[in-house]
Structure 1
């Protein structure tokens, strides 16, 4: 038995077409996998911290190289604009006070303009320095003895708005508010009875729980990439199964 074979067409053109198909497949695979890894990391943030962490979630960004054209050796980069935050919650970091200070000052949210749920001026915050300068701040120890609640006295201000609701002020530095009328009234009665607003928690150190798995997301992406590349190359070269 004699077997014979011959190449149909121009071999150089056939190989060049295959290389171009490989370049398109490589770019498509890297682009899709980069987007999937970024999407997974964003979901990790929102599932761990809730909807209030969308800013941190959206800080994950991605880029594929080369930015234009095709290549058999593309690269995908996923990074975050808040690396210190991500690193702390991936490692479960232990955070201590620095610079000779004994305590970390952790805001409760009431230090924001119009309070924790208010809609005051964007970016307005009562700082620890303002707490000290006010001369009104006082401490209440935790029952555990591990730290303190740093408070300002609560007082009533003027009545404002069509409903003539009484403004509640923390030491004259920040207006306190809640999200709805019933909640505001119930909360206000309790706070007035206590006569104080918890502005900061003072703790010597904080151990963050490990909530993120950045390394795992990257490793899963690398394991998926070869299969994604082969499937894309078959589509680009016309060998995909119908």
Structure 2
């Protein structure tokens, strides 16, 4: 189990920051590459002796995962709706990457790239396999924050890309602060997702909340840009 945990930490630390962008055919290879990686980490987890229950994939806990996930996803939806409805809050939702996104490209993001390439892969890897492996080796709070810390490292490149797209980077120290702040937010989010996974006993709960956060966040950003332009 120690070997699985160490290898997974090392792989996840570099996958989203280095490896995925170098896959042949990127960005088209983003979804299939991450889908294959999802299968591989599940196979490795099962081979190492982790049970479906430890991975949050026990069928008996799907109901609880659904209940927790729907309630928390509803809170995310309410927050996005308020952000779009209140003009003063719209700048907080704005993301230049969503500006001018066509209906086709938006549909691909919402129906394929985010659910399969991002949410499924990240939840299986972090709140499924990594959390379960660390929980075999460490007390539960340390396992939660350990998986969350790696989740923060995972977001270095995406945070840097988002900051650059929205003109939030400036000098070297400024860039470091922006990226550090963005990654810290994802550490906290990772801990919350891990808590939700453990509290519900099902990976479905954080999957639904993560999916709602990313898809509704994208829709809210697109809506904020359209309202600002209109």
After TM superposition, is the score higher than 0.5? no
Q: Which has the higher strand share?
A: 1
Q: What's the TM-score once normalised by structure 1's chain length? A: 0.23
Q: Which has the higher helix share?
A: 2
| Structure with greater Cα Rg | 1
